[in-house]
Homo-oligomer: A and B are copies of this chain.
Amino acid sequence: MKYSIFGESHGPAIGVVLEGVPSGFELDMEAVQKELDRRRPGKSTLSTARKETDVPKILSGVFQGRTTGTPLCAVIENEDQHSGDYEATKHLARPGHADWPAHVRYEGFNDYRGGGHFSGRLTAPLVFAGAVAKQILAQKGIEIGAHISSIYGINDAVAEDKDALLAVAEKEFPVLDDACGEEMRQAILEAKEERDSVGGSIECMVFGLPAGLGSPDFGLNVEGVFSQHLFAVPAVKAVGFGAGAAFSLMRGSEANDPLYVDDDGTVRAEQNNAGGVNGGITNGMPVVFEVTMRPTPSIARTQFTVDMEKMENAELELKGRHDPCVVHRAVPVIEAAAALAACDVLDIG
């Protein structure tokens, strides 16, 4: 499934075209909405106050409740824009944001209101696409779970149980251990109070992918396919599979996952440092990865930057409504990206 996301934060609508959706699939729109609601802003003090209903309207590709197999377009209207917030500072590049590189790339013509096409708001259509992908994968016995693995140095419990991980999707604050979650919330609120923001990381697992998917070659290896989907999510700055960066501290004798034939005749590994992938090919164990998300660049503190029109140094005091942390809202987004990557790896579409 190929997806094309379009829209700007303060334009009339955002949306996505999905190509390669299998035909005859009965889309569960309630489940789709649930995924969108997990990401939706305006639900708590931990997020931006922008209120959006985020109800997608399907323009094509669904007929009599089932997918037709031809391109599926879904549109989500923007409702609660405060575009005025951005006028006064529109020439000041917000540090950490794409304002400056976008100004160069688009020669100053990009929509600056709310970050335009770079807005985290554009992850709503991604979640829509991922929700469709997830339902298709579920039919094949493939499930995806994720949790916040850390925020500002506070770690969640280690994911050891599939059901516990999948149950995180039902929680308001998506962690395995709610006590850890409470600490994380405090860290976010403290940062907010200090007009600052915090970063964190998300661990995600894809269960049920059979062994033998992918190839070692460029463009086809599983880690490359997943990482391309993951780095397309705003704020993701690092991706590691299995033991990830910790491999640099290991010896081969620890790192190697011993194999055995399980009672059901399946080859399994005794541990999953490889994160389900060797040589670019799935090995039948869950595909496990962690992404790191930078702290929200929008902070209410005075920052030093440049005026892109006058090309001179400037100070910036941001107005507008911002998330002191995007990690908790990003959990369904990472799952969505993983679902789309899994569809690629399975050659669906």
Using a CB–CB distance below 8 Å, which chain A residues touch chain B? 2-8, 11-15, 17, 19, 23-24, 57, 59-61, 63, 66-73, 75, 93, 95-102, 104-111, 116-118, 150-153, 191, 196-201, 210-219, 221, 223-225, 227-229, 231-232, 234, 236-261, 265, 267, 269-270, 273-275, 277-284, 292-299, 301, 303-306, 308, 311-313, 347
Distance of A53 Cα from B200 Cα, bound (Å): 47
Which residue of the partner chain, among B61, B211, B238, B258, contacts A101 with CB atoms under 8 Å? B211
Q: How far is the CA of A93 from the CA of B281 in the complex (A)?
A: 14
Measured CB to CB, the closest approach of chain B to A314, in angstroms, equals 9
Roughly how many angstroms separate A273 CA and B2 CA in the complex, as a whole number? 32
Q: Given the complex of chains A and B, what is the CA–CA distance between A75 and B74 in angstroms?
A: 11
* Chain A interface mostly: mixed
Are B248 and A278 in contact, CB atoms less than 8 angstroms apart?
Answer: no
Given contacts A17-B4, A255-B297, contact A70 B106 (CB under 8 A): yes
Q: Using A248-B151, A252-B197, A306-B259 as known contacts, say yes or no to A118 and B294 having CB atoms under 8 A apart.
A: no
Asked whether A247 lies within 8 Å of B283 as measured between CB atoms, the reply is: no
CA–CA, A252 and B278, complex, Å: 36
CB closest residue in chain B, given A149: B248
Whole-angstrom CA separation of A11 from B15 in the bound complex = 17
Q: Please tell me how many copies of the chain the complex holds.
A: 4
User: For the complex, what is the distance from the CA of A227 to the CA of B191, rounded to whole Å?
Assistant: 31
Cα(A117)–Cα(B216), bound, Å = 8
Bound-complex Cα distance A61 to B109 (A): 10
User: Which of B3, B67, B248 interacts with A199 by CB under 8 Å?
Assistant: B248
Contacting residues, chain B, for A104 (C-beta < 8 A): 210-212, 281, 284
> Is there an interface contact between A117 and B68, defined as CB atoms closer than 8 Å?
yes
Are B240 and A231 in contact, with the CB atoms below 8 A?
Answer: no
Given contacts A110-B23, A306-B261, whether A237 and B247 have CB atoms under 8 Å apart is yes
CB distance from A91 to the nearest CB of B (A): 13
Q: Which residues of B contact A73 (CB under 8 A)?
A: 6-7, 15
CA distance A76 to B244 in the complex (A): 32
Residue contact A109 to B24, C-beta cutoff 8 Å: yes
Report the separation of the CA atoms of residues A238 and B62 in the bound assembly, to the nearest whole angstrom: 32
Residues B278 and A111 in contact, CB atoms below 8 Å apart: no
Tell which of B12, B212, B261 touches A312, judged by Cβ atoms closer than 8 Å.
B261
A151 closest partner in B (C-beta): B248
| Bound-complex Cα distance A215 to B333 (A) | 19
CB distance from A197 to the nearest CB of B (A): 4
CB–CB B257/A96 < 8 A: yes
Question: Within the assembled complex, what's the spacing in Å between the Cα atoms of A23 and B191?
Answer: 37
Would you call A292 and B240 a contact (CB within 8 A)? yes
Chain B: minimal CB distance from A336 (Å)? 12
Q: A245 touches which one: B66, B227, B238 (CB < 8 A)?
A: B238
Contact A70 B117 (CB under 8 A): yes
Centre residue among A75, A215, A257 by max chain B CB count within 10 A: A215
Nearest Cβ in chain B — how far from A118, in angstroms?
A: 5
Whether B228 lies near A259 (C-beta < 8 A) is no
* Contact residues in B for A217 (Cβ distance below 8 Å): 4-5, 19, 70-71, 232
